[in-house]
Chains A and B, each alone.
Chain A
């Protein structure tokens, strides 16, 4: 039954082999090694589908775990090389292999002619492997290894065009920022494992044991709070949460397929994945949950605001990623385990789609800036409609994947709000507000890109098949993936049932009692029912199928419409001037004269939002946070110089040399005792004798 599961380790292994194979033979192959990567990824993908099928249909009572004792670590503790396959793993497999496969295929054309083409594919495969390793790991240490490798690959790929200093800096920034987060992760892992060692476990890094121990209440609160907060620091850095998101926009320096991979599947999702993996531990502490939720909320809102003022398409997408990751984090923070990873799942597809689409556009106009585009809908029809699908999904337009998953997040917040949890309210309301922002900036981007005149200096034309095909596949998935957990999904076969183990189920909505009735009701969820599957499931657990929340649907639609309309007002006719702000000024006057509502909206919504909040956010991002980062860097460097020049070379080494110098100095003085006058020698001798005589008398 579990045949494929036994071979789950092949999923990460194949890309690893392909890395080595590409590095070794890639150059001599007709496809310069890309075919190896594609084949390996395809195989992995197929295997992932199989594994997902088996996992989802089998309804495993326990996650599937296999491990080898890889090495002793001293003191009887061992490091396991092991795999843990459950719904979460299978879901991530699907996401990562799919996106990666698409990126591989897409890159064949996109990267054509690059001098480091082979190297690029090798690194892509390695990147995929690293993420898959993190996903399959059955223990924190192995996960850490995957995690760090992800960081390395991102460094190598972001700095792919290393001839330019700014690209080098971007790579370094990404690596160092995430590495800084890793301080927390590493120490957090160590803290948790210390707790496990205290419980007498010989495999202190094991995830299953850790989660079980946490649920059983064996781990002390201190350990959990300290450990999880530290680990969350790692997630903050890796998943681009405020304030450690600064590396993410810079990471656009890498080739666009890499951005797709980073933003959709292999890097920024790592933090969310790890939080989900450790959800039973997270859920033990309200403090940890609260911190996670607040950070998520801040990120999802202010991250989104930042996207408003970008001209660089990739940066718009990057900030949107920040914002969307904020949703996922916030969902975890309010116990929305399923909501979070479902959003992760769907977001992966549509964000990959958007990036690849952006890549297609950039490829065509040789510029990242939306102000250089315009009117692309006609010249690039496939890109156009796939991009629109992605945009709709991102904006949460009903019936797209983004709609279902984002609503899950909001509902989760609402459910908790009903329990009187402040963060629940925050997630819900700020989430809604951010949805407006998201829609607005995506609409702005779409209008500027596809509407109006072509402002580029090139004659754009549609990309080749190898680039368009992945777009189409992803476009389909951007819609279809949402139906895994929607009112249309079946009770038994839905995303939640597949990914949430019984333990997690209980932790997700602990306030739902055995009778299936929510003890309290959220603002909007009051009418919704949570279906108990205790009687039909074999394991006596809770399963739910989302119901239509028509009230929420209505709000979402209103928001969507308002945002798009607003955007259309300003950008619907393209961008006649290079400076959008100036153009906005003209548009504002027109709007003010015709619709008082517009003026209101502009003056009290757009202006404050765009000019004040966004500017503040930009400022805070660029000046305060970047300033802190840069300042920290400069301070470190100053500290380094001081340490080396003053402390090391002067004080410590100076002390050593000073001892030598003073010896020489004394020597020079002392040697003059040897005056050469024998009578002085005699006098000294006799004087010495007298001193001795007196001294010994004194001794007595």
Chain B
């Protein structure tokens, strides 16, 4: 009876120790040096494996972070600033504070403003339509409304409005991952600084045609008249190729420009209603 106990104990221990020993030797022989920080960084990342950083998954991003000398250009859209700060601490590297951004759609040409000139009947993809011709309206710059951006968004933050046929961004859901910006073949979407209370002022048009042509095809096109440029007290607006652009970092949301625009191409969103001029306060599509 005690035999069994002795045999058991001895053989089992023997096997255990033997296995440990062999393992130990092999581990020494086949050592691979891998940076242990990769694991640490990976744990600090959100682990969503969304590819928003343009790497194949979080681990690859972690490896990249460890490898790179300057990580300020490496950016995980999902991670918060704390996450990134933690990673920077692990790596002992500097990291740029991320300015919160949000996507805005720079086309306001709903069918009432921008009548259809033909009927598109190809595969329902903006990239395919845009590779074919100028589009189903007179404007060769405007949104095609086939929802490439909606499909690109992993966060359910951008949707085509059925009535206007234009995409609308849900500010709270948008992580500024840039996916829709890349997806849009017409470069209509821009990531802009996220202001307090989600306020925004921007020129909702990218048409570079001459004023007359642009206006003919779309009632709310920017015609490049330059009146907004003149009224802006902060020199935030520039005019190039018949198109005005408001620099989000220079703009201080004074709202002087919007009422100046003869075509209502400048949108202001999430502001309290204006008292004096009713016309401009009417919030056009693009608001959620």
The answer to whether A and B assemble together is no
Q: Which residues of B contact A (CB under 8 A)?
A: none
